[in-house]
Each structure stands twice: as structure tokens, then as C-alpha cells.
Structure 1
Amino acid sequence: MDHLTITQAVSQGPVQWPLHLGSVPALASAFQQRLDVRNAIDQAAAGHTAVVLTQVLSGGGGVGKTQLASAYAHQAVAEGVDLVVWVDASETDQVIARYAVAAHIVDAPNALAGQTGEKDARAFLQWLATTKRSWLVILDDITDPDTMQPWWPPSSAWGCGRVVATTRRQDAALSGGGRAVVDVDTYSAHEADTYLRARLRSARAEHLLDAQTEPLAEALGYLPLALSHAAAYMINEDVPCTDYLHRFNSSAANLDDLLPRHADTEGYGRHVAAALLLSLDVAQTCEPVGLAIPALRLAAVLDPAGHPRDLWRVEAVINYLTAHRVPIPSPHSPAPVSSTQAKAALRLLHRYGLLTDDAQAGFRAVKLHALTARAVREHTPSGEQREIVRTAAEALTELWHKGVEKAVLHTNVDSLDGFAGDLLWEVEGHHLLRWVGRSLTARGLATAAVPYWQRVSDTSERVLGRTDRKTVMARRELAVAYLNAGRSKDAFAVFQEDYAYEAEALADASLQARQAPDSKRDFHRRQSTEGLLALLEDTLAVRERILGPTDPTTLSCRIKLSIAYWEAGQQPQAVSMLKLVLKHQNEELGVHHPDSMATALRLDHVRGERKERWWKRSAGSWRRS
């Protein structure tokens, strides 16, 4: 407020009660009462002088905090509360200015013409503390809890005053001074569905309701702001829920088109994506400076339902944050980001309501709203996406080796795959897809494993080619999935089609495992070796199921696998494999058959026994081996 407004307040004459100061937002069409949340607010207010509404599932806004505060303001007006003050608290200067004007309007004793706004504001706070008149002050959208500390309305000496505040911040300062914090989540599934139906009916657009109304609400994450914009879009364009859901799920669509600014018919005042990311620029300038944006971009490609905190200690993540920190604190080469700073970046995003960091949630400690994640991805420069995908893939790989709960890793891999597409293959991250698929197979989920491996093998063939060993490996997995699903004919068809490519693929895998360079390539060498072992294991599984355990082709594959085990340092597995081969050969061919004796020599060599012992028994067989 400027000085002219204060002058007008001074000259307005005797106070006319009740007073309503500030512009209270109108309630949205089909406003949901949200009785559970309002009961929580009422209970908090019973023992506290102020109630602060924040969000339980952080997403930058849009959960309906302002609408709930507005409902309390309208209720206070209807009940005849003497003074209702609505304050835009996004800037502390605005709060002070509003208080200063209010001091003159209510004729506060210490409000004097010509003195500073801060003195008038303090006079208003003193009046609130001592007046016997009933009052309600709404502080909407507090963005800086620290600077707000001196300007919180005080406790009423007569118990007739109340404060309701809204904020997207998660800050300890909000709960001090007798204030209670109430978390406001998105709509429940029932509330979201009820809102959509009521909103469309109120616009005489019932024909847009169909069987996909509930799935649409779920796809929008039950976010009130998004539901409002989506409903307006459907009404304006005469698009039913099914068609809108199809457009929303299309990879080519973006939030700016699906939830456009002109769809803000309820007067929220913000585009959805802008509302979700409103705090990001501010967070980027806070300590640790320059990490908020890269950290949020990385989190946005993972599962919105949550990923482990440990991911932010992984070396690949630390290196990514170091490389993408903007602005760089030092004009010279950037200092490495520490794991402590990475954790601080998470807490920073948490405080600004951009994601939730909750240690009590275990392996799903870090989560963010799905629409926030989508908004972040859509605003990520295409040139940075490859490095983000690579970082996420390497981080999830390390967590997989550390034994993090597989169900959590599965959903995070699925989210990464959904965003990355072919990029995941280009950065050598598709081994994660194989791990997820093999996990499905191991758990006996054949119904899910078959279509999963069909998709993976088709993608591998398209991206890498039909003869690539990774494609052959994926098709081996598909054959195993077919067998587990009782589809032996389909498995045999895959086996027949791939037989011609098998030797070439195995040779290529073996060569890569042997020739992978040292130094900083340990990870890739390990992946090559694991790829060879996996391909041999899968090939053996298919041959045993289709050709039988004693078929020469099966035994030949088992010998190759034993050699691969031995070269990978897995001696017990190599010994076990060769023992089984020798058993079958002795039974089928006899102990003196050249093949049996060659296998016996290999087994002796793997065990580390003296070669001379077997050389004396069969020099010819040793040369043959």
C-alpha cells in the first residue's frame, strides 16, 4: 500500500463495524468442503493462536491451501466477525503495508499520521492483542518465514482473535510462537471425482463425463489446481474425459497445452506449471547455491512415489551435481560437491515445497508430485537429458548392487525408462531393464514377464540391431519367459530363429569382456562380463528346456559357461558346472571317451590340481582339451 492509501484510511471518518479488508478470493466452482482437513484445522486452532496450512505432498502449490483459507474468511464474514483481513504475504513489505493501513482504519491508538509504515504496522499488532472485538487475519502464501517472524499477529488477550496462514514452505520457523502446522494434501480420490463431475455438470457439460472420469482424476494426481484447469479445457473444447486422458498421456503433449493459462476460469492467477515451480528460482539462489535446479531435474526422472535417500550419496550423482551447478561458486574449476551439500540440496527443495524428503518413508524417502516431475522434465533443456539419464541409470545400478528393496528400484527404473526411451540404451543403461525383467521371471510373474520381454527385445532389435549380443540376450529372456508361461512352441520358435546368431553373439560378448580397458572402466568391464555370463546362462536354460540336459549342444554351452565363470573369478560355479558335464558325458559316452577325458582335464585345471597327474593318464586328451 502506498502513502495515498494510508491518507485515505486516516480521513475515512468513524469506524463502521464489521470491517473486511483485502480481497478475499471467491470460492471455486464445485468447491470441495474437505471435512477431514477442516476438522484438523479446527482441532489445531482450539489449542493455538495461529494455524499454518502447508502441503503434506510437496509439489510447489496447487493443493488448495488458499481455497481453504478463503472458505474460513467467507465463513467469518457470514458469522459477523468484526474484522476480517486478507493479506497477500508473498512479500513481507506487503504485509507491513497492509497492517499499516489497517491500523488507521480501526483507529489503533498508536497509529499516527506521518510516521513510518513499520510503526503503524506495530500499532495494528498491538491493537489486535488488546481489542475485545473478534478478528481473523489471513496471511496467504508466506514465502519467507524468517522475515515474517516479527509480523505474526499476537495472541488475543481476550481470546477473540485467530490467524490462518498458507505457505508452500516446510520450515521449522513456521511452527514456533504458538503456531500449529496442518498439512494439506491433494484431493482424495473421492473428492477429485466429485469435483470433476460437479464442475462439468454446473457447466451443463454432463456429456463429457464417461468411464474415464476417475482415471483422469488419478492421472492428474488429484491436484485441485490441475483438475480445475483440465475441467475448463474440456468444457471449452468440448472434449470428453476419455479423449482428454488420451491427450494427457501422449508423450507429445505438454502441460502448457493441456492445462493452459486461459483455462484459469477460477481465478487462481497462475498457469499450472508456473505454480508448481514457483519457488525453484528462489531456491536456486539459496545455500547450497546453484544445486536446486540440477537436483530437481534428476529427481524428476525417477518415481514420483519415492526413491531412496542413499541415491544422493552415489558418486555418479555427486559428479552430476558438480558439473551442472549454476552459478559456479568459484570462477575457476568448480569445487566438487560433497555428499553433505547434496543432502542440503534435498532439504532446500523440501523447505521450498518442491519435493518431500521424509526419512520415515524408508526407501521411498524422496518423492514429488507427478505433475511437478512432468513440469520439470518439460522445462529441462534437451542437451542435458542424456547426462541426467546416464546419472540416474548409474545411481540405480549402484543401489541395486547394494541390495535396496527391489520393488522400489523396479518402479524407479520404469519411470526412468518411460522418460528416457532410447536414451537409456544409448548410455548403456538398459541392463536395468534386464534386471527388472529377470526379477519378474524369478518371482514367477510369467503373465507380466512375457509382454515385458517382448517390448525389451523389440526395442533392442530396433536400436542395436538383430545380431547384437544384447538383442540375442533379450530374446533368450523372452524364450525363458515363454517357457515359464507354458508356451513351449513360442520358446522353441525364438530358439530356432536365434540359433544362427548365437555363436557370433557369444564371441562378441567374450571379446568385450576380455578387452574392456582398465583405469576408470571397471564398471563397464564388469557389465561386459556380467553380460557374457547372463547370455550364456540364458542360452543354457533354453537349451536344457528344449533339447534336454544331455544334448551335445547343451553340454557345449555348459562348458563355455564354466570357462566364463572361471575367467570371472567364480571358481565354485565353474567347478560345479564341469562336474555336471562330466557326469553326463561319463554316463552317455563313457569315462574313456575323448570328450569325457577332456572335460576331466578342464575340471582338474579349474580346481588347481597338478597337470602332470592328468598328463600321465592321457597326454593325447590333454592336448585335445
Structure 2
Amino acid sequence: MKPFSEDESLAYLTEQLAASGRQEPESEVRPLATELGGLPLALSQAAAYLVDAGIGCGHYRSLLSDRATHLTDLTPESGALPDDQTTTLAAAWSLSVESADRMRPVGLSRPMLRLTSLLDPNGVPEAVLTSPPSLHCLADQRDALTSTAGEPVTAAEAAGALRTLHRFSLLDHDPAHPQQAVRVLKTVQRTTRESLTADDLHTLARALADALLAVWPQTTRDHALVQALRANVDTLILHAQPGLYADGRAHRVLFTAGESLGEGGQVMAAREYFASLATANARYLGSEHADTLAALRRHAYWRSETGDVTGALDLYEQLLVRLRDSVGPDSPETIFARADLAWCQGRPGDITQAVATSSELLSDFLRVLGPDDPGTLTARHNLAWWHGKAGDITGAAAATDELLPEFIRVLGPDHPATLTVRHSLAQWRGEAGDAPGAAAAYDELLTHMLRVLGPDHPATLAGRHDLAWWLGQTGDAGQAADAYAHVLSDRIRILGENHPDTLATRADLAWWRGQAGNAQEAAQEYKLVVRDRIHVLGENHPDTFAARADLAYWQAMVGDTTQRGTPPSDDDGTDTPPGCQVELFLLDDTHPGVEQSTRITLRVRPDPGHPWAVSDSRRRPTLEVLALTPGPADIEPARAFYDHRTDLEFTFTPRRPGRHIIRFTLYENASGAALQQVETELTVTGSDIDAGLLVPTAERRQG
């Protein structure tokens, strides 16, 4: 008999219960009818058990989910079957499987049903069940069950077994939807699993883990497939976790599933996944096993990606102590953990330490792994990156340009790491001042990314995001805003509204809409970005600080200084506007006298939340600085531009001894508004100037 539809199943189960004086709400009956798959035999025997045991549909569903309860315990005994039935549900399915096994391809239906019993009932990609590891397992299972030595199983025969099981209503096979082609009733899966021994479970678990890994795509371009594979890994863990540790190591598919979460944008889920994996690895392998420490390392990495850099740094420090003790200081695991630590150190701004650690690391990578190891190449790339962040943009660009042919030679032109190097090259080109060249480089890079990774890959979206930035830097704020709007739509669709990358695109879209002339809209949107970053990333995340600074900037542009840098709030109180320090230093150690020159540098240090405290220097407003000394002295240059990357240098030459006043006025270059003015005094006694830090007196100005 064909399965009932969902509504037919509901009506049947409701009628059977009513005949015995049972009335249950549809909200309880419908889920049970759905879980039983509309099979008339399953529905009738479930109704009989409910009446006989005096339990409700919800309780029955919980028993079905309880792995300690056998399915035979949830159906009436053979003498109490309803509707003159003579066969229990489990026995009926067993008979169906025996009949299916006699159909061509002979002997493969039961082995195939065994494989599917450990996978996601809501959808198994057909490629998993026709992959070489599955074919090998099917052949072994068939031979063991029939006590014969048959021929190898082909993919066509495996697909044939699926069709046979489909005809016997033991599973649903829909080749038109390959990512979820095979669906199996939970009750059928359960009956099958209950017939397996512990050795069977271990064997099937390893084979399925190999099969899942064999079809896992190298990139996450096919999100539907990756999501289906992850769901099947989760189900495999649920039913046969010990088998994934049968050879003394954690199966690689466990790590692959976790990485796919983070690479797909689910950074918080990846963080929690690897924390759980580390716990499981420790339970099955020991707390100091290499796979336990590897899971902890990935947990630390994804913890840093969620914004908890401090927590990640602590974890890395603890992990390195354990790695040095367990596998030694020169093991690849230890060196890669140190590389992660170096990268993490630079994220909150400790670039000097990141450069020092990366330099030391590169020597160890070369010594231990050799010049052509991908890890060594990545270490060279990261060192160049931190040099660039430290201000040596020309050197970073040259080192990265030198690296690109090496990545192409070792990994190929389409490897994601090679594309990352191209991305960095485009970035440094823009940082060096060539915004049109950077935009062109990103445009060319996106052609490769679309072909290799697909339009929805996070790296492709990041490339489009950066291209939009450099389009704005060429002077077309409107085009940049339009480009960001398109990226935002796709990031919301793919990553969700609260993903950190989505929030970054919202922030930059607001920035360029403001630059295009809509400062009020920019200020309003930044209020929402600050609010959402606090919710998603926390108060102390660097991106939250950056958003506060950008909000303060646009509030200043529209004249709203009462709550500078604060998100929407019900609090009617006002914040004290954040401060800004202008620091002046004497560079020369000597004490010049009258008619002798000395160099003075100017550096702006805004407090968090000040309009100029944007973490990305590219988005800080260029300031025009006018230097004036009213007395008999010269200062050159009299006019300079401050880009927040390097200190401004002035040359001061006094013409007489005594007190000299030097006044610096800072203007917002785009609008010409006077933003701040500071004055300082220098006393020239005879021929001596006090060397050291000059403390300016700042005067706040609106504008």
C-alpha cells in the first residue's frame, strides 16, 4: 500500500484514537503522523500502542527518539496487533528488505539500508552513497551477509539498490535533487540500526566518514551540498561517534565539517563546534593527543574570529605550552600554532609584536618544513602583511609581488591561498596611493574568484567589498555606495544579517553614502551598526570601537555632538565628547640655539569614539595642518597634510632667545572646517632648547 499523505495520516491517526475514546490536539498528532512517514502499518500499530499503553503522542515521539528504547518495545505484541494484522512493524520491514535483496542488484538492498541508517533522514547526497568508499563497504557488507565473495560494486549498482528500496517504500530516492536525493524514515533507520553489532557500527561509521570526505568540495561554492554534508556528519556523530575514533585518531571529516562552518560565515558556530570536538577528542583519545590539541587550536582561531581576541591569545599561550611538552618545539603543530598566535597578536593592534613573532617564525618554517611548503609561503605572506601594517607599504607590496609566482608554482593559480596573495597585492597597491590601480586589480581578481570559488563564496564577497572601497577612493562615492548596496544584499542572503562581514558592509555603505552627500543618513545608519555590533561582537570588540568612531564623525558632520559615538538608547543623558590629543616631539638630541634648526613631529591620538579614531586609516579624514609661530622664528612647512599613517615633521628655527609660541590649527580637508587648534611654548635660553616631549594645550572647536 502506498504511504498516506500528511493530511491522510493525520486523519487516520486521529480517527483510530477517537475510536478508543482518545482526543488529542492536532499539534500533538500531526508531528507523530509525519514522523511515521504516512506508512499505514506504522500508523495503525502506533495507534494501538498508544491506546494500550495509555500514553500521549508527544510521549510516544520522545520514546522514538530515545536510543535506549528498542522499536519492538513501541509496537503491540504479535497477539495484540490491530486490524487482524499478523506481522509487527519491524518484522514487516524485515520481510520487505529480504524481498528487496532478491531483486537486482542482488544482495545490495540491506547493505545500502545499513549505510543510510546512520545518515541524515532528511536528505543524503547521492554522491556519498555512490562514492568509492561506499562502494567498497557495500561489497564487503554484501559478501559478509551472503558468505560469498562477489565482484566489486559499481556506482550504477549502488544507484540501482536505491531504486529498489524506493519501490519497496523503504526510502525515498529523488535523483532530481542530488544534494538531498535519499530520504529515509526515522523508524526504518532505527529498526536497521538495532540489528547492527558494535563492530558493524564502527565499520559503517569509518566507511561513511571516508565517503563524506571524498565528496566534500575543495571550496564552499556549493553551499547546499556543504550544508547537507554537515548535517550527515552530525547524524553520523549522533549514532556512531565511537567508530570515528576506531583507529586511534579523530577522522578528518570531523575537522572538515567544523572548518566549513567558519568558512561559510558561521564563525560562532565554528567556535562552539571545535570546543565540543576538543572535548570529544579528549574523551576518546586523551587530553594531550595531537587531535585534541589540534581541535583546541582551531577553537582558539575561531574564537578570535568572533572578536574575542584576548580569550584567543590566552588559549594559544596555554596550548603552546602543552604542544611543546607533548610534540616538541619543532613539530609542525607547534609551529603552526605559533603562526596563529602571531596573527592573533596583530589583530588588536600589537603590530610590532606580530612582526617580531612572524620574523622568528619564518626562520623556523624554513628550517623545519623547507622553502616550498605551503606553510612557509603563508608565513612569508603574513610577515609581508604585518610589515605593511607597520607602515612599510612599499616593502610589503614588493615582498608580496615576489611571492605570487611561488604560490602559483607550488599551489597553482586557482588555489584559494594564491587568490589571497592577489588580494593582498591589490590592497597594497591602493594603500600606496594608486586607488584606480587597486580597483582595476580587484576587478581582475574577482574574475578569477567567480570562476574558482563562485559568486557566493565569502572570499568573493570580500573581494567585491574591497573593490567597492577603492571605487570610492577614486572619487566616485556614489558608485562605491551602489556597489556596497549590492554586496550587502548578497551578504545578508548568504551570511545573514548579523554576520560580522555583513555588519562591515553596512558600515562602509553608510560611510560612502555620507561621502556622497547624505551625512544625516550615514549618522543614522551608524547608530544601528554600533547597536548591532555591540549585540553581535560585544562592547570591546575593535570593530565596535571603529563603528563608534565613524558614528561620532558623521554626528559631527551634521552637528549632532550630544551623544557622539553612541548607539540608539532610551537613556536621555548625554555623553561627554571624547577627547583628542595632539602630541609634539623634538626629534634631535642636540640643543640648538638661536638660528639653529630643530625638527618637531606632530601626531594625532584620538580617544575611542572621537571622529578621527577610525581604526582603518583609509577612512580617517585627511587633515590640513597650518603651523604658525608669531614671534621671531621660522617654521617649515607652514602647511601640511596629515593622513594618520605617519607623523608630520616640521622644522623650527628660532631667531632670538626666550619664549616662543607655536600654534597648529587642524582643518578637515574635504570641508575646510577648523576642527582643533593647539598651542605650545618653547623656551630658548641662550642657545638651548629643552629636548623631549612638548605638551600642547588643546582648544576644542566645533565644526
TM-score when normalising by structure 2: 0.48
Say yes or no: does 1:551 pair with 2:371: no
CA contact (8 A) 2:342 2:357 kept: yes
Q: State yes or no: 1:232 paired with 2:34.
A: no
Q: Is the 8 A contact 1:277 1:354 kept in 2?
A: no
Letter in 2 for 1:243: H
Q: What's the CA shift for 1:209?
A: 5.8
2:376 to 564, 574, 591: 574
Structure 1: any 5+ residue segments left out of the alignment? 1-64, 66-183, 512-530, 591-598, 609-625
- The percentage of counterpart residues that share the same residue type is 26
The structure 2 residue matched to 1:398, chosen from 197, 210, 214, is 214
Q: CA deviation at 1:406?
A: 0.6
What corresponds to 1:462 in structure 2? Answer: 283
CA separation in 2, counterparts of 1:320 and 1:346?
15
Shift of 1:457: 1.9
- 2:296 match: 475
User: Given the alignment, which residue of 93, 97, 107 partners 1:276?
Assistant: 93
Specify the code of the residue in structure 1 equivalent to 2:116. A
What is the rounded CA distance, in whole Å, between the counterparts of 1:557 and 1:464 in structure 2? 32
Q: Aligned in 2, Cα 1:230/1:286: closer, same or farther, shift over 3 Å?
A: closer
Equivalent AA in structure 1 for residue 263 of structure 2: A
Paired residue type of 1:270: T
- What residue identity is the alignment partner of 2:5? Y
Q: Which residue of 1 aligns with 2:689?
A: none
Aligned residues: 397
Instruction: Name the counterpart of 1:367.
Output: 183
**CA distance in structure 2 between the aligned counterparts of 1:238 and 1:560, rounded to whole angstroms:** 73
1:407 aligns with 2:246: no
Q: Does 1:291 align with 2:93?
A: no
For 1:8-19, what aligned pairs fall within 5 Å after superposition? Answer: none
State the SS of the aligned residue for 2:47.
helix
Query: What CA deviation, in whole Å up to 9, does each residue of 1:1-21 have, x standing for no partner?
Result: xxxxxxxxxxxxxxxxxxxxx
Distance in structure 1 (CA, Å) of the matches to 2:110 and 2:169: 13
Give CA deviations for 1:112-144 in whole Å, capped at 9, x if unaligned. Answer: xxxxxxxxxxxxxxxxxxxxxxxxxxxxxxxxx
Residue aligning to 1:142: none
1:311 and 2:311 are equivalent in the alignment:
no
Structure 2 counterpart of 1:253, which letter? Answer: T
| Matching residue's letter, 1:575 | L
Taking the aligned partners of 1:401 and 1:509, their CA distance within structure 2 comes to 32
Q: Does 2:173 match 1:353? A: no
Q: Which amino acid aligns with 1:237?
A: A
Amino acid of the structure 2 residue aligned with 1:411: A
CA RMSD of aligned residues (A): 4.5
Q: Which amino acid aligns with 2:62?
A: H
Distance 1:508 1:420, change over 3 A: farther
1:392 positional shift: 0.7
Match of 2:177, SS state, is: helix
Superposed CA offset, 1:299-347 (max 9, x none)? 222222332333344322232223232479997x543333443343333
Whether contact under 8 Å (1:536, 1:560) holds in the other structure is no
Deviation at residue 393 of structure 1 after TM alignment: 0.8
* 1:532-572 Cα shifts (integer Å, max 9, x gaps): 8986775555555478454268527853895599659555x
- Aligned residue number for residue 320 of structure 1: 137
1:300 aligns with 2:117: yes
C-alpha contact 2:32 2:57 (8 A) present in aligned 1: yes
Q: Matches of 1:422 and 1:509 in 2, distance apart?
A: 31
Aligned counterpart in structure 2 of residue 384 of structure 1, from 184, 189, 200: 200
- Conserved 8 A contact 1:233-1:258: yes
Taking the aligned partners of 2:385 and 2:144, their CA distance within structure 1 comes to 67
Q: Secondary structure at the match of 1:287?
A: coil
- The answer (yes or no) to whether the contact 2:97–2:110 under 8 Å persists in 1 is yes
Task: Quote the offset at 1:400 in angstroms.
Answer: 0.6
When residues 378 and 541 of structure 1 are mapped into structure 2, their CA distance, relative to the original with a 3 A threshold, is farther
Distance 2:161 2:235 in 1: 22
Within the alignment, does 1:425 sit opposite 2:245 as a pair? yes
CA distance in 1, matches of 2:324, 2:218: 33
Query: Letter of the aligned partner of 1:559 in structure 2?
Result: L
Contact 2:370-2:376 within 8 A present in 1 as well: no
Q: Which amino acid aligns with 2:179?
A: F
Query: What letter corresponds to residue 323 of structure 1 in structure 2?
Result: D
Q: 1:214 to 1:358 in 2, by over 3 A?
A: closer
1:436-465 CA-to-partner distances (Å, cap 9, x unmatched) read: 222222233245334433322211111111
2:146 and 2:93 map into 1 onto residues whose CA distance is 27
Q: Does 1:187 align with 2:12?
A: no
**For 1:18-57, what aligned pairs fall within 5 Å after superposition?**
none
Q: Is the 8 A contact 1:209 1:241 kept in 2?
A: no
Q: Is the 8 A contact 1:544 1:554 kept in 2?
A: no
Question: 1:409, CA displacement in angstroms?
Answer: 1.0
Decide whether the 8 Å contact of 2:339 with 2:379 is kept in 1: no
Q: Distance in 2 between matches of 1:255 and 1:330?
A: 28
Task: Give yes or no for contact 2:63–2:69 (8 Å, CA) kept in 1.
Answer: yes
1:314 and 1:451 map into 2 onto residues whose CA distance is: 30
Shift of the 359–505 alpha-carbon distance from structure 1 to 2, 3 Å rule, reads: farther
Question: 2:81·2:88 contact (CA, 8 Å) conserved in 1?
Answer: yes
Q: Map 1:52-451 onto structure 2 (within 5 A).
A: 65=1, 184-188=2-6, 190-193=7-10, 195-206=12-23, 213-261=29-77, 264-326=81-143, 334-401=150-217, 405-427=225-247, 428=249, 430-451=251-272
Shift of 1:398: 0.7
Q: 1:339 to 1:200 in 2, by over 3 A?
A: closer
Matches within 5 A, 1:530-549: 542-545=344-347, 548-549=350-351
1:498 paired to 2:319: yes
**Cα deviation, residue 373, structure 1:** 1.8
Deviations 1:348-375 (A, max 9, x none): 3334433333321222223332221221
Partners of 1:210 and 1:242 within 8 A in 2 = no
Task: Find the counterpart in structure 1 of residue 645 from structure 2.
Answer: none
Q: CA deviation at 1:490?
A: 4.8
Paired residues of 2:127 and 2:178 also in contact (CA < 8 A): no
CA distance in 1, matches of 2:343, 2:310: 15
The code of the aligned residue for 2:303 comes to Y
Whether the aligned pair in 1 keeps the contact of 2:3 and 2:38 (CA below 8 Å) is no
Could you state the TM-score of these two structures normalised by the residue count of structure 1? 0.53
User: Would you say the 8 A contact 1:393–1:429 is kept in 2?
Assistant: no
Distance 1:217 1:473, change over 3 A: farther
Aligned counterpart, 1:61: none
For residues 449 and 273 of structure 1, the distance between their equivalents in structure 2, rounded to whole angstroms, comes to 39
